[in-house]
Amino acid sequence: MMAIRRLSLREQVTDEILARLARGQLVPGSSINEVQLASELNISRTPLREALIGLQRDGVIVSEAGKGFSWAPVSMQEFKEITPIIAALEALALKETPVDALTKVASKLLKRAKAYTSDVAVHSELISTDDSWHAIFLAVCPNRRLVELIATQKTALRRYERLVVPDDAIVHRVAQEHLAIAQCLADGDKDGAIAALHVNWEGGRDRLVAQLEEQID
C-alpha cells in the first residue's frame, strides 16, 4: 500500500510561497511584509516564519539584521553555477547506490523515457516530468542526507527557472539523454550512466540559456 504523505502547515505554506514565486506574484529582491503575507495566507506568523526560515536555507530568501527577510535576487550566473552542482550530487548518488538496486529501477526509467520522446515541451510539464524521472533512481540511494541536499539545490534551480521562463513557455529537450542514462543502468554500467547524467544536466542548462539569450536579443 502506498504511504500517503500528510503535509504540515509549514510545508503547505512553503508550497504556496513557491507557487506564488512561480506565478510572478512575488518579486525577487523585494522585502517581505510578514504581517501582510500571513494575512493573505490566513495563518499566524509562526508557521509563516518557520516556512521562511526553511526557504532561507534553500536560498529562496535572504535576511539582514534589522531589515528582516527579502526575496533573493536571481541571476543567470546563479543558474549556471547550480546546474553542475546538482549533476555532481546526482552522480554521487549513483555511485553510492548498489548496482542491483539501480538495475531494478532501470526498466521503469526506460519505460518512462521511451514514452516521452517529444523534442519540445511546456515548461511546467518538463519540470514535473524531469523531476519525477530523476526521483526514481534517487529513491533507491541509501544516502538520504545526500538526497535531501539534492532536493534543496533543485528548489533553488527550479525557482530560478520558473522566474525567468513562464510555466506555459515551450522549451526544448533531448529525449535521448534520459534514454542513455536508463540504458546504462539497465546494463549495469554505472560509469556510463554517470557520464550520460552529466550530459543531460549540461545539455538542459545550455538549451535553457540559449533560449533565454534569444529572448533577450
The domain limits of the chain are 9-71, 76-216
- At 217, the pLDDT band (50, 70, 90 cuts) reads very low
Whole-angstrom distance, CA of residue 42 vs CA of residue 48: 10
The number of angstroms, rounded, from the C-alpha of 50 to the middle of its chain's C-alpha atoms is 21
Name which CATH class applies to 9-71: mainly alpha
Residue 64's DSSP bridge partners are 68
More confident residue, 2 or 215: 215
pLDDT in tens, 74-103: 677 777 888 999 999 999 999 999 999 999
pTM: 0.75
**Residues 37, 42, 43, 44, CA torsion sign:** positive
pLDDT for 5 equals: 47
Q: Do domains 9-71 and 76-216 have the same CATH topology?
A: no
Whole-angstrom distance, CA of residue 170 vs CA of residue 207: 12
Could you tell me which of 40, 38, 64 has the C-alpha nearest to residue 51?
38
pLDDT for 4 equals: 41
Region of 143 on the Ramachandran plot (φ > 0 left; ψ -120 to 50 alpha; else beta): beta
pLDDT for 10 equals: 85
The CATH code belonging to domain 76-216 is 1.20.120.530
Is residue 106 within 8 A of residue 182, CB to CB? The reply is yes
Residue 68's DSSP bridge partners are 64
Is residue 170 within 8 A of residue 123, CB to CB? The reply is yes
pLDDT for 24 equals: 67
- Listed in sequence order, the DSSP H helices in the chain are 9-22, 34-41, 45-57, 76-96, 99-115, 123-138, 144-164, 175-186, 190-216
